[in-house]
Amino acid sequence: MINRTLKDVLVHKIDYKKAIILLGPRQVGKTTLITEIAASLGNYLLINGDDPETRLLWSNPTQAFINRYIGNYKVIVIDEAQRMENIGLSAKMIIDAKKDIQLFISGSSALELAGKINEPLTGRKWEYRLYPLSWLEIREHESFAKTLPLLENFLITGMYPEVITHPHNAKEILSNLAGSYLYKDILESGGIRRPELLLKLLQALAWQVGSEVSYNELAQAVGADKATVSAYIDLLEKTFVIFRLPPFSRNLRNEINSTRKIYFYDNGVRNTIINNFSPLSQRNDTGALWENFIISERKKQLAYSGFSGNTYFWRNRSQAEVDYLEEQDGILRAFELKWKPDIKVRFPKVFIETYKPAITQVIHRENYWEWLDEASGNL
Q: With 90 as the cut, is the pLDDT of residue 81 above it?
A: yes
Shared domain for 308 and 187, answered yes or no, is yes
Which backbone phi and psi does 225 adopt, to 5 degrees? -90, 165
Last residue of a domain, one of 100, 129, 158: 129
Shared domain for 298 and 224, answered yes or no, is yes
pTM above 0.85, yes or no: yes
Residue 378 in any domain: the answer is: no
Residue 259, domain extent: 143-373
Residue 137 in any domain: the answer is: no
Q: With 60 as the cut, is the pLDDT of residue 341 above it?
A: yes
Last residue of a domain, one of 95, 129, 163: 129
Name the CA dihedral angle for 82, 88, 89, 91, rounded to a multiple of 10 degrees: 90
Shared domain for 63 and 174, answered yes or no, is no
45-77 pLDDT per residue, tens: 999 999 999 999 999 999 999 999 999 999 999
Report how far residue 89's alpha carbon sits from residue 286's, in angstroms, rounded to the nearest whole number. 48
Q: With 70 as the cut, is the pLDDT of residue 161 above it?
A: yes
Which backbone phi and psi does 117 adopt, to 5 degrees? -115, -15
CATH of the domain at 314: 1.10.10.10
More confident residue, 67 or 114: 67
Structure letter (DSSP) for residue 147: H
Report how far residue 153's alpha carbon sits from residue 167's, in angstroms, rounded to the nearest whole number. 9
Residue 379 in any domain: the answer is: no
Q: Which residues pair with residue 321 across a beta bridge? A: 315
218-244 pLDDT per residue, tens: 999 999 999 999 999 998 998 899 999
> pLDDT category, 377, cuts 50, 70, 90?
low
CA distances to 79, 104, 290 from 35, in Å: 10, 9, 34
Amino acid identity for residue 24 in this structure? G
Domain count, the chain: 2
Q: Are 298 and 371 in contact (CB under 8 A)?
A: yes
Last residue of a domain, one of 80, 100, 129: 129
CA distances to 83, 260, 325 from 350, in Å: 50, 21, 15
Q: Per-residue DSSP letters for 228-283?
A: HHHHHHHHHHHTTSEEEEPBP-S--TTB--S-EEEEES-HHHHHHHTT----GGG-
Q: Which helix (H) or strand (E) holds 322?
A: strand 321-328
Residue 138 in any domain: the answer is: no
Residue 297 in any domain: the answer is: yes
207-218 pLDDT per residue, tens: 999 999 999 999
> In 7-124, at which residue ranges do the beta strands (DSSP E only) sit?
19-23, 45-48, 75-79, 102-107
User: What pLDDT, on the 0 to 100 scale, is given for residue 118?
Assistant: 86
Shared domain for 105 and 165, answered yes or no, is no
User: What pLDDT, on the 0 to 100 scale, is given for residue 190?
Assistant: 65
Q: Are 159 and 266 in contact (CB under 8 A)?
A: yes
Average pLDDT over residues 331-353: 96
